[in-house]
């Protein structure tokens, strides 16, 4: 992932690129973040990595990390550091985090990166994220509106995730079906809900990493209606599950 060009406050041109290898952050785990900063280390006075979130309409700085030029690997031009469990617990779930990096140079100019967004996910009991006990996902439906708490799924898991639908009276008397959409391949799968308004997520629809959206469809002899598509759930590669369980993304 790229944080595009730096904007230079002294208006001089620059083509330095800054890269981040992650596009999500899991609360309550540790994670390493790496950024490529193509600058001569001896020209750097200070580097500030700022993480913020939009809360109640305000951009609130949640965490800042400060370094000097010696923190950059001179061979790879990479700044790598660790966010501890305590660091990630500072973030609010379900609100994207915004990363921005400022580099103060010894010539008194300042370079500022474009903004980069991280999805912030709850730690959904990662000890069971690999194949194992069924994980319950709570889905709330009011009229045509559908909402799901952000949830991390492991691609290739078989019969591991059950959606439990809570529906309002607008859906009384209808036969209910969940429709799952893999937004990467635009593929669909439909599953009838049981008497408890629950169903398992089909294995085929999450066989590979993707984002997953859900809709509810209700019908009887005279009516067919559906909800809008839900917010998407992140489905990550199964090879990452072990590192998440150990708290070392």
Please state, as a whole number, how many other Cβ atoms lie within 10 Å of the Cβ of residue 68. Answer: 12
pLDDT of residue 240 exceeding 90, the answer is no
Interstrand relation of 2-8 and 17-19 (parallel, antiparallel or unpaired): antiparallel
At 5 the pLDDT is 32
Torsion of CA 228, 147, 119, 242, to 10 degrees: -110
pLDDT mean over 201-207 = 90
Q: Which residue has the higher pLDDT, 186 or 7?
A: 186
pLDDT mean over 18-24 = 51
Domain definitions of the chain by residue range:
2-121, 126-240
Domain 2-121 has CATH 2.40.50.100: no
pLDDT of residue 15 exceeding 70, the answer is no
Reported as a pLDDT band with limits 50, 70 and 90, residue 232 is confident
At 153 the pLDDT is 86
Reported as a pLDDT band with limits 50, 70 and 90, residue 6 is very low
At 180 the pLDDT is 95
pLDDT mean over 100-126 = 82
pLDDT of residue 141 exceeding 90, the answer is yes
**226 token code pair:** 């559906």
Q: Same CATH fold, 126-240 and 2-121?
A: yes
pLDDT of residue 247 exceeding 60, the answer is no
Rounded to whole angstroms, how far apart are CA atoms 107 and 152? 45
pLDDT mean over 214-219 = 95
pLDDT mean over 214-231 = 93
Where does residue 231 fall: left (phi above 0), alpha (psi -120 to 50 degrees), or beta otherwise?
Answer: beta
pLDDT mean over 152-165 = 86
pLDDT mean over 213-225 = 93
At 186 the pLDDT is 86
**Of the given ranges (128-137, 147-156, 200-209, 240-249), which has the lowest mean pLDDT?**
240-249
pLDDT of residue 8 exceeding 60, the answer is no
At residue 83, the 3 state secondary structure works out as strand
| Helical residues (DSSP H) of 44-160, grouped into ranges | 85-88
Reported as a pLDDT band with limits 50, 70 and 90, residue 132 is low
This model's pTM is above 0.85 = no
Architecture of domain 126-240: Sandwich (2.60)
């Amino acid at each position: 992932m790229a944080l595009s060009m730096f904007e230079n406050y002294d208006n001089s041109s620059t083509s330095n690129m800054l890269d981040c290898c992650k596009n999500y952050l899991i609360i309550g785990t540790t994670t390493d973040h790496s950024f490529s900063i193509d600058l001569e280390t001896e020209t750097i006075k200070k580097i500030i990595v700022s993480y913020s979130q939009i809360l109640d309409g305000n951009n609130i700085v949640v965490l800042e990390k400060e370094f000097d030029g010696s923190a950059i690997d001179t061979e790879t031009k990479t700044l790598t550091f660790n966010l501890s469990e305590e660091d990630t617990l500072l973030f609010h779930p379900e609100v994207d985090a915004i990363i921005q990096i400022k580099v103060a140079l010894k010539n008194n100019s300042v370079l500022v990166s474009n903004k980069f967004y991280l999805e912030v996910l709850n730690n959904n009991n990662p000890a069971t994220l690999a194949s194992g006990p069924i994980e319950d996902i709570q889905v709330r439906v009011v009229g045509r509106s559908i909402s799901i708490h952000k949830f991390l799924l492991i691609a290739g898991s078989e019969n591991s995730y059950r959606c439990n639908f809570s529906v309002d009276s607008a859906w009384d008397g209808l036969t209910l079906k969940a429709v799952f959409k893999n937004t990467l391949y635009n593929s669909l799968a439909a599953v009838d809900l049981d008497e408890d308004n629950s169903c398992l997520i089909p294995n085929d629809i999450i066989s590979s990493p993707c984002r997953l959206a859900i809709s509810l469809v209700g019908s009887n002899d005279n009516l067919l209606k559906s909800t809008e598509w839900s917010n998407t759930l992140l489905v990550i590669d199964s090879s990452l599950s072990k590192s998440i369980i150990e708290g070392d993304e």
